[in-house]
Each structure stands twice: as C-alpha cells, then as structure tokens.
Amino acid sequence: MLLPILNYPHPNLHIVAKPVDTIDDSIVQLTKDMAETMYASNGVGLAATQVDVHKRIVVIDVSETQDDLLVLINPEITWYSDEKIVYEEGCLSVPGIYDKVERAARIKVKATNEKGEDYTFDADGLLAVCVQHELDHLIGKVFVERLSELKQTRIKTKIKKMAKRTL
C-alpha cells in the first residue's frame, strides 16, 4: 500500500522517533509499504518519520536496478570518519529542492532487519550519505536544516510559490 509522504515544513517532520521494541506483523507490513512508497517515488531512502510514523525504521535502496533493499530497524551509526564528503542531496519530503550537504565520508552502521536479525555494515559514497540523511529524519531533522538560514528562507519561499501554482 502506498503511504502519503509529509512535505516540509510539516511540523511532524520534527518529531523524534522511538525505538521499535517488537517486530510484529504491523512493523513488517510498514517496512513493505515504506519500500513500495520509496520505489514508486523513485527515491533512494525513506524514513518512517516521513510517512508520519514516529518509530526508528528506515528503508534504503541505492542500487541502479532498485533490487537491493536495506531495511534498518533501530539503526545506529557506531563510527564516523573524520574525512568528509559533499553530496547534492534531495528528499521525498522536499520535492524539487536539491543542495550540497557535508557529511562523514565513511560510517559503520548497526541495525536489525525485518526478520529480527542484527547486522552491521560499512558504508561510503552515496550509501553513507543516505544512511546519515535518513537517520537525521529519525531525530526530526530535515537536510535543509543543515543549510544556511538564508538558503532555508529561500527554500521556504520557493515551496510557497510552487504550492500556489498547483492551486
């Protein structure tokens, strides 16, 4: 089932997600719906926060062929490199807006999958950027809030103008 995505600056995008304590059928179904919603929107990542569910759940697929789904339940970044990467980011909650954000170039991640298995992996490049971007959502942070105040003001103005056009 496709889920509606909250659009910035919706206040619920600032709610801090709570850890998942039991991976029951409703959580498994939510991860499936999140993946379907991400693929349908041609996204590479989606956090539960963006579909107004305030639990620590993220889906990511940075593969070209959209066939390498990562389900991250209660994800944590256990290590950040000092080395940085600057990447032009976008967000399904901020359609049409893209800007450069600096983040750690490499990270170590631990999470649980939808089967309840714990796993860890190292990430760099687009995957490292995506994990950091999605985990920001879980603490109520949208990538535009990592840009200058001037850029944030300009983005809000642009969003209001785009909304008017669709009236």
Positions marked catalytic: 134
- The number of residues that bind Co ion (CB under 5 A) is 1
Q: Identify the residue among 17, 129, 147, 155 touching ligand QAP (CB under 6 A).
A: 129
Angstrom distance (rounded) from CA 68 to CA 66 = 6
Angstrom distance (rounded) from CA 78 to CA 82 = 13
Could you tell me which residues are beta bridge partners of residue 107? 80, 123
| Structure token pair of residue 82 | 């000092």
Could you tell me which residues are beta bridge partners of residue 100? 88
Work out whether 159 is an interface residue with ligand QAP (CB under 6 A).
Answer: no
Between 18 and 100, whose beta carbon lies closer to ligand QAP? 100
Which option in ligand QAP, Co ion, none does residue 42 bind, with CB closer than 5 to 8 A by kind?
ligand QAP
Work out whether 11 is an interface residue with ligand QAP (CB under 6 A).
Answer: no
Angstrom distance (rounded) from CA 46 to CA 6 = 11
Q: By CB under 6 A, name the binding residues for ligand QAP.
A: 41-45, 87, 89-92, 95-96, 126, 129-130, 133
